[in-house]
Structure 1
Amino acid sequence: MNAVKAYVARSDGDFVRVKILNGKIKKELISIGFVNDIDLGEYKIATPSDEKKAEIFNRLRDMDVYFSYGREWCPSEVFEHLRDAGLLSGKFTMISWTAPGEFFITTDK
């Protein structure tokens, strides 16, 4: 089983939100500008432009953070959009759920 540290829960607005599953990654997130959003139990960072979002996505991917896949404008779709726009390159890892607490991990093509 993969040890999931964290995943990007939302990224369709002016913030990227990361849900932490392993507390060891908190310091790394804070070091690149994330702050705790206590109300949602997530860490967030402002991304006012596609360039900033691409920079954050690249850093998160390098930290082995996964990108959620699912309905609507999910983080994995945002990653693909930024890559198609030439702001990112390379593969990333997606996480999706089949039931509460049950997920599967895939690497994009």
Structure 2
Amino acid sequence: MKTLQSLAAELETARLARGLHYKTLAERTGLSTLAVRQALQGRTALRATNLMALADELGLELALVPREMAASLRSAGADPAAPPRVQSDVERLLARNAATPGRSP
């Protein structure tokens, strides 16, 4: 995420997916309803502790990753918190077989 608006949009999407009202989220995080609404609309910056509380309540995990890795994760649509995936021998052989002209899987 590069902007306050993109962060707010992710939080708002998670809030809507969980069917939570701003007031409910505020009560569960100890923040005011106004603070939650403004944060999730991208109108105010969040303190780190408030961001952690909101993310936790919304079932999200904060992850700090190297910038180079973040760019490739975004382009791949991957979850930055997920462990790296290792291709199995079977997957590698199937891919090689599929790439060979005249061979069928």
Normalising TM by the smaller chain, what interval?
Answer: 0.3 to 0.5
User: TM-score if structure 2 supplies the norm length?
Assistant: 0.34
Q: Which structure has the larger Rg over C-alpha atoms?
A: 2
Return the TM-score normalized by structure 1: 0.33
User: Which of the pair is proportionally richer in strand?
Assistant: 1
Whose helix proportion is higher, 1 or 2?
2
